Amino acid sequence: MSKYDIIVLGSGPGGYVAAIRASQLGFKTAIVEKENLGGVCLNWGCIPTKALLKSAQVFEYLKHAEDYGLTVKDVDKDFDAVVKRSRNVADGMSKGVQFLMKKNKIDVIEGYGKLKTGKKIDVDGKEYSADHIIIATGARSRELPSLPQDGKKVIGYREALNLPEVPKKMIVVGSGAIGVEFAYFYNSMGADVTIVEYLPNVVPVEDVDVSKQLEKSFKKSGIKIMTSAEVTSVDTSGNGVKATVKTSKGEEVLEADIILSAVGIKTNIEGIGLEDVGIAVDRDKILVNDYYQTNIPGYYAIGDVTPGQALAHVASAEGILCVEKIAGQHVEALDYGNIPGCTYCSPEIASVGLTEKQAKEKGYDIKVGKFPFSASGKASASGAKDGFVKVIFDAKYGEWLGCHMIGAGVTDMIAEAVLGRKLETTGHEVLKAVHPHPTMSEAVMEAVAAAYDEVIHL
């Protein structure tokens, strides 16, 4: 039996990052992976979807070249090439993780891992032991009873990355990040897209102003949106698929070539031996403390299988924190109230902290500032005037409670708010920090100025 200090089960952005940090700290480390290094994020999620979305963005630019005084004739897409580029990007990233494993002298054990008592893992019949075992098995597309996936007419995100052709009509069920990103992509590729959202607003976790702006932008692009709507059944017996949608006005039948089910994720906790070891689970999540220790000593869990936000950067942060705690370092528990969320449709969405509604519900007396990109010189020059930056401050102490952005490139801008909140900066400090002009990022300063009735360019 091979013996290690740390074995990580799963090689997604939580698992492989934890393994690298463990190796850096001098632990003899192994990682178990049943499929591809990098997990869903690198192979079927974050990275390949961004490659698809970049192709869509370039295609949109070319179609609107005249807006920039340019003439481009006979613009068309090669959908096979678009998908192939996405897969190549994902393959390259997975190979990058392979290199990092070798560089950090981490043993990669290929196969299906199952936890055993006594801090052991069985991988396809061979046993390995470790002083510490970290569970990082991630999640997959969730299936609803009314929306069973057959992989052909009713699909999840994996199939959506690899379709042989652009469907003429597509229904996207669910308007979280996955739903709206694919809705934007396939709409830009020429599909007739309808989004069906159960809640009253699209991207329902976002500030309501952001939701309304995205709906407005999407409708302008030709995407149909049905909110407060539920798919109650699907019929795949014909050439395409028919979805029965229940709304406040009654039932409606929508027809399409394909339905993309984007109704959330299901954790990968079945069949990995949790019951055999006695690890506590509640509502599909492994229960852990602030340092990702389970109820059984020597077993830890990070990433999507735990109750925190199911985001790649959260999994990575948890993995590092978990390993550093094992190493005896002094570490602070992760602040889940200061985790940025990013959605990469067009316009992009980025946010951190409390929404305006949440701040009011918590009893804060607030100052709210909003600066539209239509008033931004850089946005006008770039032809990207949709959207805004919205900031929320505690009126009493100036604490930065929340920041919500929708527009071009905002996923690269949100880090300012995350860092500012981490450093407990106040509204006046942000306002007096000189921002470069002309940039999209100066809209953050302008929004803060608006909150304090000092806005110049609005």
Residues forming the active site: 437
Confirm or deny that 417 is annotated as ligand binding: no
- Contact call for residues 172 and 262 (beta carbons, < 8 A): yes
Long-range contacts of 452-455 (CB under 8 A, 24+ apart): 452/367, 452/369, 452/427, 452/428, 455/369, 455/371
State the angle between helix axes of 208-220 and 177-188 in degrees (0 to 180), rounded to the nearest 10. 20
Confirm or deny that 304 is annotated as ligand binding: yes
**C-alpha–C-alpha distance, residues 86 and 105, integer Å:** 29
Confirm or deny that 387 is annotated as ligand binding: no
Confirm or deny that 177 is annotated as ligand binding: yes
Q: Kind of pairing, strands 139-141 and 265-267?
A: antiparallel
Taking Cα atoms as reference points, which of 292, 389, 319 lies closest to residue 11? 319
Confirm or deny that 264 is annotated as ligand binding: yes
Q: What's the token pair of residue 424?
A: 């407990």
Confirm or deny that 91 is annotated as ligand binding: no
Q: Kind of pairing, strands 285-286 and 281-282?
A: antiparallel
Confirm or deny that 174 is annotated as ligand binding: yes
Confirm or deny that 50 is annotated as ligand binding: yes
Q: From the CB of residue 418, how many other CB atoms can be counted at a distance below 10 Å?
A: 18
Confirm or deny that 26 is annotated as ligand binding: no
Angle of CA points 133, 11, 324, to nearest 5°: 50
Confirm or deny that 39 is annotated as ligand binding: no
**C-alpha–C-alpha distance, residues 13 and 309, integer Å:** 14
- In the annotated binding site for FAD, the residues are 50, 113, 304
- In the annotated binding site for NAD(+), the residues are 174-181, 197, 264
- In the annotated binding site, the residues are 50, 113, 174-181, 197, 264, 304
